[in-house]
Amino acid sequence: MTKAFTLLELLVVVGIIGLLGGMLLPALSKAGEEGRKAVCISNLRQLFLAVELYAMDNDDYYPPSTWDIENGGGLHRWHGTRVTTSDLFVFEPQSNSPGSPLYPYLITGKIKVCPTFKKYYDEPGGPWSTAFEAGCGGYGYNDNYVGSGRGKGIVDGSINPARRHQIKMPIETIMFSDCAHWGGEVVAYSFVTPPQYEHVHSTPTIHFRHNGRANVCWCDGHVTSEPMGYTLGWTQYQTDNLISSNIGYVGKWNDNRLYDRE
C-alpha cells in the first residue's frame, strides 16, 4: 500500500518551496533589471548616433539643448517643442512648432523611453502626465557644455552649442545620461547638470535607476554604467529626497571635469 504524505511532511515541503522562492525572487528581479538596462544602453547609443548625424549636417555643431532658456520661454528642448508651457513636448514637427532637432536623424521616429523609467509614463494621472520635461524618455543631455556654452569656466559662454572639436576629451565628457528631477515625486528632466555652477552647487539630476547605477553615454559614443559619486541632502528647490530617489552626480561634488569641454 502506498504511504501518503502526512500533514507535517506537506508543510515542510511547502516551507522549503517558499524559502527557495524567496531566495530566487531577488535574483530574478535583478536579472530583469539587467535586461532593461541593456535596452536603455541601446536607446542612448541611438541618441548619440542622431547627435553625430546632426553635427555632420550642421558645420560640426552639436544640437542645441534649448534655445529659449535665457528668456524663460521653456518651449524648446533637444527632444521637442511645445506651443505653451501647459502642453507636453512634441518630438515630430507640427504646423505650429518645429519639433526636435533630432527628428530627421532618429531611425525610430521617436525618443525611446528608458524601460526602467517607463512606470512613470504608465501611471494614469501620475507625475509623468504633468512633468515639466515630459518627452525626453527619462534621459538628460549635457546642457551646460555640449548643448550650450553656459557652463562654468567657458569664457565666451552663450546659448550656442559646442562644436565637436571643442570637446577636448570626448571619452571623458558626458553627453547623455539617465536623468530625473525630484519635485515631490520623481519626474523626467531634460538636462544633465554638472556639480558646479559659477558660485553654487547645482541641483543633481543623474538618476541611478539601474540597481543603483546610471547609464552614461560619453561624447565618443561609448556607454558605461556608473555608480553615484555624490549627492546632496538639499537642493536649491528645498527638496530633501534626492538620496532615497537615487538622484546625484557622477564623479566628485566639486569637480566638473566629467562634464566640461576640457
Q: For residue range 78-95, list pLDDT tens digits in order.
A: 999 988 887 888 889 888
Measured between alpha carbons, how far is 262 from 152 in angstroms, rounded to an integer? 11
Q: Is residue 88 within 8 Å of residue 190, measured between CB atoms?
A: no
Q: Do the domain assignments include residue 6? A: no
Please provide the average confidence, as pLDDT, over all residues in the chain: 82
Domain count, the chain: 1
**Does pLDDT of 17 surpass 70?**
no
Grid cell 559659477 is found at 198
Measured between alpha carbons, how far is 77 from 246 in angstroms, rounded to an integer? 24
223-227 and 213-218: which strand pairing?
antiparallel
The one-letter amino acid at 165 = H
Q: Do the domain assignments include residue 256? A: no
| Residue 9 pLDDT | 62
Measured between alpha carbons, how far is 148 from 164 in angstroms, rounded to an integer? 12
Q: Do the domain assignments include residue 62? A: yes
Q: Do the domain assignments include residue 218? A: yes
Q: Do the domain assignments include residue 198? A: yes
Q: Do the domain assignments include residue 147? A: yes
Of the two residues 229 and 131, the one the predictor is more confident about is: 229
Q: Is residue 179 within 8 Å of residue 190, measured between CB atoms?
A: yes
| Residue 87 pLDDT | 80
SS3 of residue 203 by DSSP: coil
* Mean pLDDT, range 138-163, rounded to an integer: 84
Grid cell 512613470 is found at 120
Q: Do the domain assignments include residue 170? A: yes
The kind and range of the H/E element at 207 are: strand 206-207
At 107, the pLDDT band (50, 70, 90 cuts) reads: confident
Q: Do the domain assignments include residue 8? A: no
Residue-number span of the structural domain to which 99 is assigned: 31-248
Closest residue by Cα to residue 137 from 167, 108, 173, 165: 108
* Mean pLDDT, range 60-76, rounded to an integer: 84
pLDDT tens, position by position, 180-210: 987 777 888 899 999 987 666 788 999 999 9
Of the two residues 68 and 219, the one the predictor is more confident about is: 219
φ/ψ of 52, rounded to 5, equals -65, -40
SS3 of residue 107 by DSSP: coil
**Does pLDDT of 213 surpass 90?**
yes
What does the block give as the cell for 104?
530627421
Closest residue by Cα to residue 111 from 97, 91, 141: 91
